[in-house]
Structure 1
């Protein structure tokens, strides 16, 4: 039960952090605006998750730490549903170049940052 409570608290903090960081980016009501905030949040969350897994494997921390921080905080901080919703909106408005850039930056950038975070967490140069 303690892990569930920890995940809930960390999830609350991750959600608030996501909201606040989203406010740092220019707000636009145009469906053709590039979703910079979601891209930043998802990429930084990927880096954090890679780092967390690297640290956990290196320091042999208790399993609950990964659950609370990974599932609770980082899981609520990042958002795959917003990525898909914004991608759908770009495609619906025929913004194919933005759509392709968003998918490439999210996918390739996320993979590269996950690798970098894992290496960083393990204390190895990436």
Structure 2
């Protein structure tokens, strides 16, 4: 199977998984924190940190094999959602909570980096 097909299959699966997980979290309402996006991005960051070490993937070589194409680029790329996080922040800001929107972005990125690092550390330890 070609890498393109693997990425498409993984991406579609990841997007469906994101949609399903998102349905588990109730809407937080106007100006509220979109917890589904937070959960998805943090768990995705952890998974990609863990699996990158487990699969011995270097940052400059993450597109070639089945595991890299289908799982890391496709599945986890389709599952995580940086653009939705940015849109959520814009919506929070637009309704008058600019400080909350900035904090939402900063905290989510910091926790995501920590989650990826934790995933990588656990994979190294295992």
TM-score normalised by structure 2 residue count: 0.85
Superposed, which structure 2 residues align to 1:55-74 within 5 Å? 55-57=54-56, 63-74=65-76
Q: Deviations over 1:54-84 (max 9, x none)?
A: 10129xxx83311211110000101111011
Which residue of 100, 103, 106 corresponds with 2:105? 103
Superposed, which structure 2 residues align to 1:21-32 within 5 Å? 21-28=21-28, 30-32=29-31
For structure 2, list consecutive stretches of 5 or more residues without a partner in the other structure. 58-63
Superposed, which structure 2 residues align to 1:1-126 within 5 Å? 2-28=2-28, 30-57=29-56, 63-123=65-125
Specify whether residues 63 and 120 from structure 1 end up closer, same or farther in structure 2 by C-alpha distance, changes over 3 A only. Answer: farther
The structural deviation recorded for 1:97 is 4.4
Counterpart Cα distance in 2 of 1:92 and 1:113: 29
**Residue correspondences, number:** 120
